[in-house]
Amino acid sequence: MKVLNLYAGIGGNRRFWTDVDVTAVEMNPEIAEIYQDFFPNDKMVVGDAHQYLLDHFEEYDFIWSSPPCQSHSRLNFSGRSRGAYKFPDMKLYEEIIFLSQWFKGKYVIENVRSYYKPLIKPQEIQSHYFWSNFSISDTMLARKKVGNDKGMTLKIKMEQQGFNITNFYGYKGDKRTLLNNCIEPELGLHILEASKKNLYPELFNKEAENEQRPEGNTRNSNAVCR
């Protein structure tokens, strides 16, 4: 299964994925280096995820995209009091419309709950919005504490998220924010498995049949012995 992981960050959503051929795209070279430490077998592209999607979308079975959320976040709305106005980044909706019309595989686009009513209705799970062409069942996976509150040290943050970063490659931003931006790995796996059930229903139907079949049941179990 060929997977395209856009705006990959350090790979929170990808952490529990197995048996997949992943291409990750990340604009920041320092963050891309951290990702590669965790997932050395993935192909890493350092560049513009939005443009890469347009140029390569037909090469994949499943696409995950997590465009930057800052301009859609409720935190942006609260910034009005400081005169920090900014337009919502419409690349989010460009990707939703584009994939819904042209992509033949399965896709999911993730973002935060926005301060405005979404222009295209998403599926809502925990603190996330998801736009996809398959159904994602709700889950009780709890959102981990993501704030940079007093006492929330980098060490505690890494322990919470399960990422032990030993080399930041000169990254100058708030290192805790790298972890805040991670999708919960359990949720990433939950969504990938849902996409597989849609891509390969015959495999999952066969597994379900095998689970329901009583032990020792054979094709000729009702035959009369003579």
The sign of the CA dihedral 75, 78, 82, 84 is: positive
pTM reported for the whole predicted model:
0.84
pLDDT digits (tens, 9 = 90+) for 2-36: 999 999 999 999 999 999 999 999 999 999 999 99
pLDDT for res 224: 34
User: Residue 64: beta bridge partners?
Assistant: 5, 108
CB atoms within 10 A of CB 108: 23
112 within 8 A of 73, measured Cβ to Cβ: yes
pLDDT for res 167: 93
Task: Output the CA angle 126-186-204, nearest 5 degrees.
Answer: 105
pLDDT for res 200: 86
Helices 201-212 & 185-199 angle (0-180, nearest 10):
100
Pairing assessment for the beta strands 43-46 and 62-65 based on DSSP bridges: unpaired
**Of all residues in the chain, what percent are helix, strand and coil, respectively (each to 5)?**
35, 15, 45
Residue whose entry in the numeric block shows the structure tokens 């924010």: 177
Tell me the pLDDT of the chain averaged across its residues. 85
Query: Which residues of the chain fall short of a pLDDT of 50?
Result: 81, 142, 145, 217-226
The SS3 assignment for 52 reads helix
DSSP assignment, residue 58?
G
Amino acid at the residue 147 = G
Cβ contacts of residue 5 below 8 Å, gap of 6+?
11, 13, 14, 22, 23, 24, 25, 42, 64
CB atoms within 10 A of CB 69: 20
CA distance 85 to 62: 35
pLDDT for res 216: 52
User: Residue 111: beta bridge partners?
Assistant: 129
Helices (H) and strands (E) in the chain, counts: 8, 7
CATH entry, 2-212, from 1.10.760, 3.30.70, 3.40.50, 3.40.1000: 3.40.50
